[in-house]
Structure 1
Amino acid sequence: MTSRELLEQAVHSSAVIHQPHALKAYLSAQFLAKHLGQPEALWQQTGKLIAKDGLQVSTVLTDKVQHVTFSNVRRHRILARGIYPAAYQALSQWHAECGFNDIFAFYIAKAARKPEYLSHNVTILLALNTLYPTLPPEWQPAFLNRVTEFVTATFPNEEDRERGEASTTAHPVMLEDLLHACLQQPGFFGHNLITLAWIVRCKTSLSDAQYEAMLGNLNVQANTPPEDPEDKLDLQLWGLCATTHDPDAFIEQIRSLVFDSHFNLHQITLADALCFLQQQYPEHTAALSRVAAYQTWQCAK
């Protein structure tokens, strides 16, 4: 499998549970390749996990829906209420009139306003925005279908068009303190660490207020018991996981997380996040390695 074939698969992969993760996983694989090498094997593994996680859509659904011109207000109501298949036309028309930047600005303001369990409202949206400028034009329509499915699943019943910046009364969060909290409570499949990596990576895509609000929201998540009790750390297994300060040994642990099983698409997104954070905070290599070892064991259960 080539990188282009993986992107094509990801663009045509829709969700079967809640939100589509394939495009974020594609980007994570691109980032991981810089650390792991073996790009062909990485594309193949990511492709297998995408196939397991998602539902392949062989057509562009916008092309199969009658074209009706909606007003701006009507478009937003259709998307907020998740009215299908009209939602595909509504977002496509929004994109044609205003561009993807306008769509991203609207939803990123919403994503910054409140914490969401697992923070998919933040990470997938940031990934979609990162991918869009590099996307071949012929795949934009399918990409916009996936964006439509994501925003209707993630931001339901939010019909306001205001663009106000997120506000928070919390004290500014120090990144070192937040990283420590996320390492103490990584969350389901390390989602707190995945979220931290994407917020820091995409800081320039956010206003200062949005950036601080997202860090504050993540801090709440990392210091609150998981909503699902099954997402708590298995302390017995956690205690068995070895740590290493050696960067080479860390990469080998990441390689095991990625390649030793075919369990969950987050093998790719978590591995990417751990590599990104290790580059940013090498002094925390041992703790990050422990998270990788823990999830490798969890996948092997």
Structure 2
Amino acid sequence: MTSQEVLEQAVHSSAIIHQPHALKAYLSAHFLAKHLGQPEALWQQTAELIAKDGLQVSTVLTDSVQPVAFSNLRRHRILARGIYPAAYQAISQWHAEYGFHNIFEFYIAKAANKSEYLSHNVTILLALNEVYSALPPEWVPAFLNRVTEFVTATFPNEENRECSEVITTGQPATLEDVLHSCSQQPGFFGHNLITLAWIVRCKTSLSDAQYNAMLGNLNLQAVSPLEDPDDELDLNLWKSCATHNDIDGFKEQIWSLVFDTCFNLHQITLADALILLQQQYPEHTTELIRVAKYHTRKCAEMSL
């Protein structure tokens, strides 16, 4: 497998649970390839995990839907109410008239205003914005189908055209505070750390108010009881993964997280997040190794 083959696969991968993760995983693999080496093996592993996680769609669904000229108001109502298949045409027309950045700006304002469990409203949206510029023009229509599926699943019943400039969030939090909180409570498959990494990576795509709100919302998630009790850490396993000054083993542990099993797509996205955070905050290496070790062992247990 090559990078372009996996990107094409991801563009045509739709969700089977809630939101499509494949394009975010593709970007994470792209970043990982710069650090782990052996890109062929990494792309093959990513392709297999994408195949396990999503539903392949061979056609561009917009091509099969009658094109109707919707007004801006009607377009937003269609998307907010998840009216299919009209939603596919609504996003396609929005993109044709205003461009993808306009779509991103509309929804990123909503994402900053809402603390959502697992924070997919933030991370997948940021990833979609990052990957857009890497797409060949002929893949953009299929990409817009994935955008349609994401926004209707993630931002339902939100029909207002403009988002309030007043961003409400929890208590202001420093990045250091958030990193510490997320390291203590990584959340389901390290989602808190994945979210932090994407916020840091894409800071220039956010206003200062949006960035600060997302940090505050994430910190609130990390210090609050988990919404799903099944996502709680296995405390016995977590304790067994404690390390002491084992900073030289970081890359090896990331390698194990990515390649030891083929169980969950978040093996790729979490590994990428841990590398980004370790590079920027090396003083937290021991904590990040512990997270990688825990999820490596957890995948092995679940794969039995």
What interval of TM-score do these two structures reach, taking the shorter chain for normalisation?
Answer: over 0.9
Q: TM-score, normalised by structure 2?
A: 0.97
Secondary structure of the residue aligned to 2:227 is coil
* Percent identical: 79
- The 8 Å contact of residues 18 and 153 in structure 1, kept in 2 or not, is answered as yes
Q: Give me the whole-angstrom Cα distance separating, in 2, the residues matched to 1:165 and 1:60.
A: 35
Secondary structure of the residue aligned to 1:14 is strand
- The one-letter amino acid of 2:187's match is G
Q: Give me the whole-angstrom Cα distance separating, in 1, the residues matched to 2:271 and 2:240.
A: 20
1:123-142 matches, within 5 Å, as: 123-142=123-142
1:146/1:281 CA distance change after superposition, 3 Å: same
Secondary structure of the residue aligned to 1:227 is coil
Cα RMSD, aligned residues only: 1.1
1:11 deviates by 0.2
Q: Give me the whole-angstrom Cα distance separating, in 2, the residues matched to 1:168 and 1:42.
A: 40
1:166/1:185 CA distance change after superposition, 3 Å: farther
1:125-204 matches, within 5 Å, as: 125-168=125-168, 170-204=170-204
Q: Deviations over 1:234-267 (max 9, x none)?
A: 1100111142645541010000000000110000
Equivalent in the alignment of 1:296: 296
Count of aligned pairs between the two proteins: 301
1:83/1:185 CA distance change after superposition, 3 Å: same
Equivalent in the alignment of 1:97: 97
Show structure 1 runs of 4+ deviating over 2 A: 163-166, 168-172, 242-248
Structure 2 unmatched runs, 5+: none
- The one-letter amino acid of 2:300's match is A
- The one-letter amino acid of 2:50's match is I
Equivalent in the alignment of 1:53: 53
Q: Answer yes or no: is 1:240 the counterpart of 2:234.
A: no
- The one-letter amino acid of 1:150's match is F
Q: Give me the whole-angstrom Cα distance separating, in 2, the residues matched to 1:17 and 1:170.
A: 29
Q: Give me the whole-angstrom Cα distance separating, in 2, the residues matched to 1:234 and 1:166.
A: 39
- The 8 Å contact of residues 244 and 289 in structure 1, kept in 2 or not, is answered as no
Q: Give me the whole-angstrom Cα distance separating, in 1, the residues matched to 2:132 and 2:55.
A: 21
1:290 deviates by 0.3
1:135 deviates by 1.1
- The 8 Å contact of residues 170 and 217 in structure 2, kept in 1 or not, is answered as no
1:166/1:182 CA distance change after superposition, 3 Å: farther
Equivalent in the alignment of 2:82: 82
Q: Give me the whole-angstrom Cα distance separating, in 2, the residues matched to 1:160 and 1:117.
A: 23
Q: Give me the whole-angstrom Cα distance separating, in 2, the residues matched to 1:56 and 1:116.
A: 27
1:91/1:277 CA distance change after superposition, 3 Å: same
Equivalent in the alignment of 1:28: 28
Equivalent in the alignment of 1:265: 265
- The 8 Å contact of residues 183 and 193 in structure 2, kept in 1 or not, is answered as yes
- The one-letter amino acid of 1:99's match is G
Q: Give me the whole-angstrom Cα distance separating, in 2, the residues matched to 1:113 and 1:134.
A: 28
1:167/1:22 CA distance change after superposition, 3 Å: same
Q: Give me the whole-angstrom Cα distance separating, in 2, the residues matched to 1:214 and 1:37.
A: 32
Secondary structure of the residue aligned to 1:252 is helix
Equivalent in the alignment of 1:231: 231
Q: Deviations over 1:77-123 (max 9, x none)?
A: 00000000000000000000000011000000000002000000000
Q: Deviations over 1:206-251 (max 9, x none)?
A: 0001000000100110010111111111110011114264554101
- The 8 Å contact of residues 113 and 213 in structure 1, kept in 2 or not, is answered as yes
Equivalent in the alignment of 1:119: 119
Q: TM-score, normalised by structure 1?
A: 0.98
- The 8 Å contact of residues 112 and 166 in structure 1, kept in 2 or not, is answered as no
